[in-house]
Amino acid sequence: GPPWPLLWSISRVFLEYLEIPRLLERDLLRLKESSFSLVLPGKVVWVTGASSGIGEELSYQLAKIGSPLALSARRENELERVKKKCLEISSLSDKDILIVPLDLTNRSTHESATQSVLKHFGKIDILVNNGGRSQRSLFVDTSIDVYNAIMELNYLGTISLTKHVLDHMIQRKKGKIVTMNSVMGIMGAPLATGYCASKHALQGFFNSLRPEVAEYPEISIINLCPGPVQSQIIQNVFTEEVSKVNANIGDQSHKMPTDRCVRLGLVSMANDIKEAWISDNPYLAVCYLWQYAPTWAWWLLNRIGKTRIKNFKSGVDADVSYYKKSS
Ligand SMILES: NC(=O)c1ccc[n+]([C@@H]2O[C@H](COP(=O)([O-])OP(=O)(O)OC[C@H]3O[C@@H](n4cnc5c(N)ncnc54)[C@H](OP(=O)(O)O)[C@@H]3O)[C@@H](O)[C@H]2O)c1
């Protein structure tokens, strides 16, 4: 008989590729009109990784709509800069923005950090687990210490903070735990084995935590999965050794603008969308392929991966040169 599963996969991917991404964005923005500005103002939001990139922009957009903020990261001076700008662009007052210096890998400090936010604001409505670092190195060349460091930061650091904040949310029977995952939490990618593993771990963790807190209908677990977004992420990637910095930054201009990613993230957050893929094509299409026709996705990734690895080895920025070549 006809290969129905195969035909089903083909038509599904075709329909998804053609329509759903556009529908999704349209729907997200329509949802925004109805509830974005109603749900978030006045909510106390704790943002980790607020000193640069997506977390910084998120802080500005939340400040503008009037959400009191706790801002965390390791670099206090950068958090001061972000706070200053938040105050300039919003009607928030000095006491509405609390700086909480925090190293996600220093888990013994997470309880006292949580207490200091609670002491200041009396509640935490939304925790945005955003702090994290990516990776740019081949597994065969990379120290296992790097894998340990990535998991300590992206995975254990995130779930440790979540544990303290969730205790408080369970007492109140309400709150949102929002995690900046990635399309890399859904698919694989060469040169990012450890990063993908940490984001897959988060995906598995939060998808399993959600049913554990289902008895509290007002507690939501939200996974945001952006594709490539403009930020400092490439400057800060892990490489072959924990202390080795990335020398090859490349051109980031083809990536999604930070403000658009944050805007779509806020809409997802306001509407309790459990998993939002926030990405431009071709990355979004690869997500759909990965979901509905993984065998093809693996084949495709082997091909794309070859170019990426070749570029990386020859010292050209892996993503940008592939993007230029394919566009
Ligand atoms: N940009 C993308 O293409 C993209 C795509 C998908 C997902 N994401 C995710 O988005 C999140 C934000 O990344 P980004 O793109 O905005 O990169 P970024 O500009 O490098 O920002 C990373 C943030 O994480 C903080 N951070 C790093 N190590 C930390 C530690 N040990 N303890 C506490 N905070 C730490 C940094 O602050 P300090 O250095 O001051 O500590 C910084 O504020 C990450 O989870 C990333 O995986 C990014």
Under the banding of pLDDT at 50, 70 and 90, the label for residue 251 is confident
pLDDT number for residue 32: 58
Which residue in 60, 147, 195, 323 is the catalytic one?
195
What is the mean predicted confidence (pLDDT) over 308-323? 74
**Rounded to the nearest whole angstrom, what is the distance from the C-alpha of residue 133 to the centroid of ligand 1?**
5
> Which atom of ligand 1 is closest in space to residue 224's alpha carbon?
7
What is the mean predicted confidence (pLDDT) over 224-240? 95
Top mean-pLDDT range of 4-18, 239-253, 258-272: 258-272
Percent of the chain's residues with pLDDT above 70: 86
- Quick check: 8 pLDDT over 80? no
Active site residue 155: no
Ligand 1 binding pocket (C-beta < 6 A) is 48-55, 73-75, 78, 102-105, 130-134, 153, 180, 182, 226, 228-229, 231-233, 236
What is the mean predicted confidence (pLDDT) over 240-247? 89
**Rounded to the nearest whole angstrom, what is the distance from the C-alpha of residue 233 to the centroid of ligand 1?**
6
- Quick check: 186 pLDDT over 90? yes
Rounded to the nearest integer, the mean pLDDT of the chain is: 89
pLDDT number for residue 211: 97
pLDDT number for residue 87: 98
- Quick check: 325 pLDDT over 70? no
Write the pLDDT tens digit of every residue in 51-63: 999 999 999 999 9
Lowest mean pLDDT segment, chosen from 176-180, 310-314, 322-326: 322-326
Q: Which domains does the chain have, with CATH numbers?
A: 4-326 (3.40.50.720)
Burial class (CB in 10 A: 0-12, 13-18, 19+), 139: middle
What is the mean predicted confidence (pLDDT) over 286-295? 90
Most informative mutation of 129, 130, 198 for ligand 1 (most atoms within 8 A of CB): 130
**Rounded to the nearest whole angstrom, what is the distance from the C-alpha of residue 3 to the centroid of ligand 1?**
45
pLDDT number for residue 213: 98
Under the banding of pLDDT at 50, 70 and 90, the label for residue 10 is low
What is the mean predicted confidence (pLDDT) over 315-327? 55
Write the pLDDT tens digit of every residue in 97-119: 999 999 999 999 999 999 999 99
Most informative mutation of 195, 231, 280, 287 for ligand 1 (most atoms within 8 A of CB): 231
**Rounded to the nearest whole angstrom, what is the distance from the C-alpha of residue 237 to the centroid of ligand 1?**
9
What is the mean predicted confidence (pLDDT) over 280-287? 87
